[in-house]
Amino acid sequence: MMGKYSREELQAAHDNFVEVAGQCARSREWRPWADLFTDDADYFEHTFGKFHGPDEIYAWIQNLMNQWPNSEMDDFPHDWCVCDEERGWWICQIENRFRDIGDGKIYQAHNLTVLHYAGNNKFSYEEDAYNPTNFVPMVKEWMAAAARSDDD
């Protein structure tokens, strides 16, 4: 069965999503990322709740990413993704990577994300699921390493 969108369009939209998220993480300005969602988009973040439309998504992400410890995250690479071409969905494992403190180690924990593509380089749905038992020890380890690097 053929999907509504070509594999090439789905891939280009996903690649753009990853690129824009990286740019926003570096600039600390999340409006371009929120604008990747349709006006009727739904975003379900298991820890923080549900958001509707790019303006709600933007208000939430901009605020969240300026609060510690999220403010220390500066990259969100996708480890792997599966594309359901028939539905236009992406299922991805995304790393939440903390800034490099110079000790040669990468500090990150992943979440699973589902994205529904809606055409025109926009998404109509995102759902993120995290396992806090992966995040808490990693954040503590990063904090200890950051404190050591501050002492040097």
More confident residue, 118 or 69: 118
Provide the token pair at 151: 């002492």
Q: What is the pLDDT of residue 107?
A: 96
| Topology of the domain covering 7-151 | Nuclear Transport Factor 2; Chain: A, (3.10.450)
Q: Is 104 left (phi over 0), alpha (psi -120 to 50) or beta?
A: left
Calpha distance 122→34 (Å, rounded): 10
At 14-66, the pLDDT tens digits run 999 999 999 999 999 999 999 999 999 999 998 889 999 999 999 999 999 99
Give residue limits of the domains in the chain.
7-151
Q: Which stretch of DSSP H or E encloses residue 19?
A: helix 7-27
pTM for the full predicted model: 0.91
User: Which value, to the nearest 10 degrees, does the dihedral of the CA atoms of residues 16, 22, 28, 29 take?
Assistant: 0
At 75-97, the pLDDT tens digits run 999 999 999 999 999 999 999 99
Calpha distance 111→118 (Å, rounded): 22
